[in-house]
Every structure is written in structure tokens, then in C-alpha cells.
Amino acid sequence: MSIVAIHGLYKTYKDALEPSLNGISLEIPTSIIFGFLGPNGAGKTTTLSILCGLVKPSSGKASILGKDIATEMQEIKQLIGVVPQDIALFPSLTATENLTYFGNLYGLKGKALKDKIEHYLDIFGLTNNAHKRVSQYSGGMKRRMNLIAGILHDPQLLILDEPTAGVDVQSRKMISDFLKSYNKNAGITILYTSHMLDEAEKLCDEIAIIDHGRILLQGTPQSLIQQQEKCHSLEEVFIQITGRSVRDN
């Protein structure tokens, strides 16, 4: 069964010369880690933004857990967790205050919320800094906090937009190890974008490569490598498919 189903999705932003999404169709099976890869400006963030309800598609359909994004977005928002590309936290609040606020917005409160916050702060090694303002955190700490804010309400689908961008090796390993166990132990489906192709190759069960608003390839990392001639890694597949020219957006 597909947790995410996208059919013929188009998006052209106002004043844009070209569409950001050019009729993409995609099915993501339940309980897997799905890598959504592509160069800058390929359409990854636009797709995720549509699935989160931040952007309206120009045309096409998409559903999450069988719920239509056009009509049932409020229900969908309760079922998904989102970890945006940018750090989306209140810098002047502490970790605990941030997470309490976000938990309250998901309807969580009291001891249950407190326990959950403590649990995740412990997992991500932030317990000692729980009462420190987020503005005083390092980049890696902020990334981990950003992830906790997305999973606090136990979503069925976790959407991550470059969750390990700009963090040190230790934090990156901590995040990817968590995502693996979170997927395996809780059966949570993870939709993930990254420019770290080696990380994606190890982490993802299935991958789609998108460019110029179109899905170019989809399959398991191994099958993609095997399909492409002279390719021994996902990075080589990616370069072969999307080209070597530098993308500025």
C-alpha cells in the first residue's frame, strides 16, 4: 500500500519562466525510507511543500494515507511530521519551551508531553542543554532540535528536507542512525531529500531522482546502480542522469 500517491503534479510559480514541477507522478510504499534526490532547483522542496500544504499545486493530485491534499490537509497535517530544510525554531526560547509550544499546537500537554520531550532530548544528547536558548546552540544541536520538533507527535509519515545539511559528522551519524531505527522500530515511513548521496545510498530503501520537475529514475539504490552502465555508486548514477553542469538554484 502507498502512503504517498502523486499523480501528474504541476507547479509553476508566479512570474517563473519554467514550471518547477512538470507533471510528476510518484508512489511511496508504507514503512520505507524513501530518498527524493535531485540537484538544486530540481523540484524536491516544491514537491515536499505541496505535500505539507505550504504550496498549492497548479494542477494534479496528491494524497497521503489516502487523504486528498486539496481537501483534507488539516487531517494530513496531524499525521505527518515535517523537518524543514531551514532551522524552524524560536531562537529566544529554550529547547524545552520550543518543544512544549510545538507539542501544544499538536494537542499534546501535561506529563505525556513532558515525558516525550525528555525522551527525545535524551536520545539526541540535548538533555544538558534543555534549558538553554536555541540561539546559543551549535548548528548540529539546532539540526537535532529541528528533527525532534518534527517527530514529537508521533507522525505516520516523516518528511525531511536535507536534515543533515551543514552539520558535523557526529551529528550527521546520530541523525541517520536515529532515522534508521525510527523507521525500523516504529514502522514510520520517511520521505527524505539530501545532497549527501552516500548517506542516501546507505539509508534509503527506495530512491527517486528528480530534475527539471520530472522524475527521471526510481528504484532501490542497488537497482539504480545496476541499471546505469559504468556506475558503481549512487553518486555516479546521479551525475550520469542529471549531468555535470552546476545549478545555481
Partner 1 sequence: MWLRLTATIKKEYLTLSRDKAGLALLFFMPLTLIILMALIQDAPFKDYQELKFDIIVLDNDQKEISQQLVDGLKKTKKFSVHTTYKEKELNEVHAKKLVNQGKFQFAIVIPKGTSLQVQNNSNKVVAKLLNSLGMPSDTNAFTESHALYIEIIFDPTAKSAFKIAINNAMEKLVAGIETEMVLKSMSQQLGTAENDNGLAFDQIRSIEVKEKAAIDKSNGLTMITNSVQHNVPAWTIFAMFFIVIPLGGTILKEREDGSLMRLKIMPGSYTILLLGKVLFYVGVCFVQFILMMLVGIFTMPLFGLPSLQLGHSYFALMVIAIAIAFAATSYGMLIGTIFKTPSQSLTFGSVSVVLLSAVGGIWVPLYVMPLVIQKIGAFSPLYWGLNGINDLFLRHEGLLFILPQVLKLLGFSALCIFLAQWFEKKSFQ
d(CA 71, CA 68): 6
Does 90 participate in binding partner 1 (rule CB under 8 A)? yes
CB of 93 to partner 1, least distance (A): 6
Residue owning grid cell 511511496: 28
Using CA atoms, how far apart are residues 33 and 184, in angstroms rounded to an integer? Answer: 9
Which of 88, 165, 231, 241: binder of partner 1 (CB under 8 A)?
88
Is position 70 an interface residue for partner 1 (rule: CB under 8 A)?
Answer: no
Nearer residue to partner 1 within complex by CB, 72 or 236: 72
How far apart, in Å, are the Cα atoms of 237 and each of 157, 183, 222?
A: 27, 25, 11
Look up cell 504517498; give the residue.
Answer: 4
Residues 6+ apart with CB under 8 A from 40: 247, 248, 249
Residue 151 found at the interface with partner 1 (CB under 8 A): no
- The C-alpha cell at 188 is 514510520
Q: Shortest approach of partner 1 to residue 75 CB, angstroms?
A: 8
Q: Does 154 interact with partner 1 (rule: CB under 8 A)?
A: no
Secondary structure (H, E, C), 20-34:
CEEEEEEEEECCCEE
Nearer residue to partner 1 within complex by CB, 88 or 239: 88
Q: What does the alpha-carbon distance between residue 17 and residue 217 come to, in Å, rounded to a whole number?
A: 25
Q: Would you state the cell numbers that stand for residue 50, as one nine-digit string? A: 505541496
Q: Exactly one of 54, 70, 112, 186 binds partner 1 (CB under 8 A); which one?
A: 54
**Among residue numbers 7 through 26, which ones bind partner 1 (CB under 8 A)?**
14
Q: Strand 214-219 vs strand 206-211: parallel, antiparallel, or unpaired?
A: antiparallel
Nearest approach, Cβ of 158 to partner 1 (angstroms)? 12
Candidate ranges 31-39, 77-85, 195-203, 240-248; the one touching partner 1 (CB under 8 A): 77-85
- Told to check if 84 binds partner 1 by CB under 8 A, we report yes
Report the residue from 149, 151, 209, 237 that binds partner 1 according to the rule CB under 8 A.
Answer: 149
Q: In whole angstroms, what is the distance from residue 147 CA to residue 100 CA? A: 14
Three-state SS letters, 105-137: HCCCCHHHHHHHHHHHHHHCCCHHHCCCEHHHC
Nearer to partner 1, 37 or 76 (CB): 76
> 14 or 232: whose CB is closer to partner 1?
14
| Per-position x/- string for 106-125, each x denoting binding to partner 1 as judged by CB under 8 A, each - no binding | xx-x----------------
Residues in the site for partner 1, rule: CB under 8 A? 14, 52-56, 74-75, 77-78, 82, 84, 86-93, 97, 100-102, 104-107, 109, 133, 149
